[in-house]
A and B are shown apart, each in its own frame.
Chain A
Amino acid sequence: MDAITSSRIERWLRDCARVFPEHKDELNALDAAIGDGDHGANMARGFTAIPPKLDALAGKEIDGLFRTTATTLISVVGGASGPLYGTFFLKASAPAKGKLKLTLPEFCACLDAGLAGIVGLGKAVLGDKTMVDVLTPALAALHPKNGDTLTGALERAVAAAREAAEATIPLQARKGRASYLGERSIGHKDPGATSSALLLEALASAVKG
């Protein structure tokens, strides 16, 4: 199976700077229904601040790429998504320490550590209508199976992420600002779950291609 190299991680992060502005209005609209309507703007602002910092890190160790992404998101995004996505990349950096490439199991260990960081900070559990609802099944699907290819694992993770994002629609929010809507949050797709699915879609296309 192909390794996931530093340059492919860099491509993933650069692609995010294109993907989130493209989906800004969509995420804002989802957030307007159950939050304060700025999730797309915040994500676009955060991820477009990353590429200028990547030039100096090209071809360098993966943990540095993740740490720079983390500190940028934490200082630029604000709200709840900044600390949550920032913590995801910060915790993901530790298992990648000093590595220029990762096997799929090593990469899974990074992202699993990232998800554990999100859960530790945000205290959300499955079914709370948050990004955890997408990241949990998608990262589980990313773990390699016998006879797997990297592309196969990535496609499985993306399919799981998309399905899980849609599955937040009938849920009642129990975390964040949407939780104050109570039952009125039912019937809307969660914006954080949707941005998590976009993050994984960008990952798959960057690492596969």
Chain B
Amino acid sequence: MKKLINSPDNVVTEALQGMELAHPDLLKVHYNPHFITRATPVKNKVAIISGGGSGHEPMHGGFVGLGMLDAACPGAVFTSPTPDQMEAATKAVAGEKGALLIVKNYTGDVMNFELAADLVRAEDIPVESVIIDDDVAVQDSTWTAGRRGVGATVLAEKICGAAAEHGQSLADVSALCKRVNGEARSMGMALTSCTVPHIGKPTFDLPADEMEIGVGIHGEPGRRRAKLLPADEIVELLVEPILKDLPFKSGDEVLLFVNGLGGTPLIELYIVYRKAAELLQKAGLKITRNLVGSYITSLEMAGTAITLLKLDGELTKLWDAPVLTPALRKGI
């Protein structure tokens, strides 16, 4: 294992200490239990809180700030955070309008957030949870833990964050979050595996001339292993199942999000974007907004994931609203 770390045991804490030092104007990091809040919490609105295993940076801590999250709870690498973290974070940032917990659909995350919501409700703080499950790679939802939460999480956090800043109620922001999840679909692929620091060896073996189509953000196996292909053909394999899954129709406006999984350079992501844009145009879709970069990663995994969100006037307005976080800032 070749990593820029001091000790596998200290990876999460030392990274949080670095984030705190780098962004004192935006963030405050709390320890034991670990959670990140805005430098100055705002309590007169619905609080948007998310969390998950570490190793997906900048998600979620990098999205804490004006127009996006109020708090984020980082777990151990690829391991869900615990309910005491969510409880402490919610108490620190939620006011009378309550809190929305945005949860990615992984067994551990769902259970820990469910216990956390019970703890918070017992304190008379209104709380709703919405589960994000946009990964079309999972075809068999009946006999698996269901579709995983991936790229739509970033879009939902941005859009719900804006709605909360505009003063929307908990019920409205929660319904909006479900709508974003319902209108978004994602599919990813890996060129290489990643290595979890405390395990020390690659999560899966992938020969030099093969790729995993439909990989999950923790290296979960995808739809199939295949021989490596040129980028354009890979993008076809990702876009086709997305278009098939959601009834996008000609004339629809969409947000195209091309995400890097951590080990893929931006130059390659733009090659992916180029082909994805061409395919969407052929399908009659209008890309009116986009996001290109590594926003939801799997440590150093090389690969990409494409997320498509169907837009309307309201979603577009909320996407365009100002945001000021370590990882995403625009309109300010």
Contact = CB atoms under 8 A, between A and B. Distances in A.
Interface of A: 28, 32, 36-38, 41-42, 74-84, 86-87, 121-122, 172, 174-177, 179-182, 184
A98 to B, nearest CB: 22
Contacts of B216: 180
Interface in B229-243: none
* Interface SS of chain A: helix
Interface string B157-200: 00000000000000000000000000000000000000010110
Given A83-B111, A177-B218, A180-B221, A36 B83 contact: no
The list of the 5 closest CB pairs from A to B, nearest first, reads A179-B144, A83-B111, A80-B108, A79-B108, A180-B220
B115 A80 contact: no
A87 B83 CA distance: 12
Nearest to A82: B82
Contact of B79 (A79, A87, A179): A79
B240 to A, nearest CB: 21
A78 B111 contact: no
B112 A179 contact: no
Contacts of A122: 107, 111
26 contacts: A36-B78, A36-B196, A36-B203, A37-B199, A38-B76, A38-B196, A42-B79, A75-B33, A75-B84, A78-B80, A80-B108, A82-B80, A83-B83, A83-B115, A87-B115, A121-B111, A122-B107, A174-B144, A175-B145, A176-B145, A177-B218, A180-B138, A180-B220, A180-B221, A182-B221, A184-B221
Contact of B145 (A38, A78, A84, A180): A180
Contacts of A78: 75-76, 79-82, 108, 112
A76 B84 CA distance: 9
* Interface SS of chain B: loop
Contacts of A37: 196, 199, 203
Nearest to B143: A174
Contacts of B140: 182
Nearest to A182: B140
Given A32-B199, A37-B196, A80-B108, A74 B82 contact: yes
B111 A180 contact: no
B20 interface: no
Given A80-B107, A121-B114, 16 more contacts: A36-B196, A36-B219, A38-B79, A38-B196, A42-B79, A75-B83, A76-B82, A78-B76, A81-B108, A172-B143, A174-B144, A175-B145, A179-B143, A180-B148, A180-B221, A184-B221
Nearest to A76: B82
Contacts of A175: 107, 145
